[in-house]
Amino acid sequence: MTRAIRFSKEAIGSLALRDFVEEEKRACLVICGHVHSCGGRYEWLNNAAIVNVSSHDDAYSRANVALITVEPGGDVDIKINKLPSLIEYLLERGTPEEELSKRASLWKRQASYFINAAKKFGTEMYEHLEHLAHIKFVYGLTWNIVFKFYERGITRVEDINESVFKDLLVEAHGLDRVHLRKAYVKFEREMNKGVVCLLTPMPLHESDKVIVYDTEYNNERGVLYGFLDLITGEVKQFWFDEAESAIEYLCGKKEYIFVHYGGKDKSILLQELRYNAPTFNLLYSIQTSLIAPIDSASLSNVHDALCGHVSDKWWETYFYGIDGYTKFILCNRILSNPDDLKLREQLAGANKADIIALSRVIAKIKELPVKAGDEIGAHNHDGAGIEEG
């Protein structure tokens, strides 16, 4: 059995089936449809026609229809036709925004973007819609940005270049700018394999007093608060029933910047511990600035790329062996049974491992060079800087 990731660039298929077709001279036709990215195509292998009749199961791709005629002597004639995508079908019939949103599973704003794009670009847009959707999903962009790419002649992932990103970033604002910066960093990682650098300097200086912190929480509240003072190296942890002690600890840290790794940590610091301090979201900075050989911005992935994998039982247990979902479950179980010391030990170990890993990542990032001549980096940090309390 073969496995494939959608939008994969790898060559995929069934070796067993290929071997059979190559050995069985009587085979004249193979109809398949598992690999959707190859749908609507056919090739010849020895005496056999291999026809992939699949279609993507989305609203943006046209459907493939194959008319196959097999003659008595084994000759095969193939004609591939296309049916309109769902979006094309609805837009060509002037479907109102609300109905388009409902039938094509779009947000109303997205439906509005499609209606405006259809008016602006005409029917030619439908020819490229499947590839535009590929751009959207590969780079995590909004349709608004994708249509701006298309306006500049970008129809496929392969067409994207650095100048297009820089052109669009000059005029982008708000969330559009955030999405573009993340996509630009992903593009740079793909173009510069093995390179490790920053697009913008990290706004933490040697003179800054920094505390790395991480909160373990469920949907309702914080369960464990962990702090690592980078000046003294001291680690302090406070449980949900020690909030007053945590507040007392924080009152002695008025001159510090608090670094966290995304999530609800900033809001919990303010709402549950009543501490209004300058914070810095390191995750956002990594997503919008770090060029490095990473597949995701997970803390373990970033840590190993910058600092190297730690082959140690404690790290394997608490850092690599406990993921976010496991910590979420531990939080719920501890709140249900606060006296279970074993559960507390597991969560405390995971929390401590995370803040130590964060401190190691910060130290490495401070050593990284900033890419020269990056005009995008000359603009503001888009929220990646110090967030005033």
Domains of the chain, residue spans = 23-83, 86-191, 209-378
% of the chain residues with pLDDT over 90: 76
The token duo for 266 is: 């900033």
| pLDDT of 319 over the 60 cut | yes
The mean of the pLDDT values for the chain is 90
**Can you give the length of the chain in residues?**
389
| pLDDT of 46 over the 50 cut | yes
| pLDDT of 382 over the 50 cut | no
Q: What is the mean pLDDT of residues 340-345?
A: 97
- The more confidently predicted of residues 321 and 57 is 321
In 3D space, the residue among 245, 234, 233, 247 whose CA is nearest the CA of residue 277 turns out to be 247
- The more confidently predicted of residues 382 and 102 is 102
pLDDT in tens, 169-200: 999 999 999 999 999 999 999 999 889 999 99
Angle (deg, nearest 10), helices 162-171 and 143-151: 120
Give the C-alpha separation, 259 to 297, whole Å.
Answer: 16
Sign of CA dihedral 295, 296, 302, 303: negative
The pLDDT assigned to 371 comes to 86
| pLDDT of 388 over the 80 cut | no
Q: Confidence class of residue 376 from pLDDT cuts 50, 70 and 90?
A: low
Q: Confidence class of residue 38 from pLDDT cuts 50, 70 and 90?
A: confident
Q: What are the φ/ψ torsions at residue 316 (nearest 5 degrees)?
A: -65, -35
- The residue assigned the tokens 């049916």 is 83
105: left (phi over 0), alpha (psi -120 to 50) or beta: left
The pLDDT assigned to 374 comes to 55
Per the CATH hierarchy, to which homologous superfamily does domain 209-378 belong?
Answer: Ribonuclease H-like superfamily/Ribonuclease H (3.30.420.10)
Measure Cα distances from 110 to 104, 130, 145 in Å. Answer: 10, 16, 11
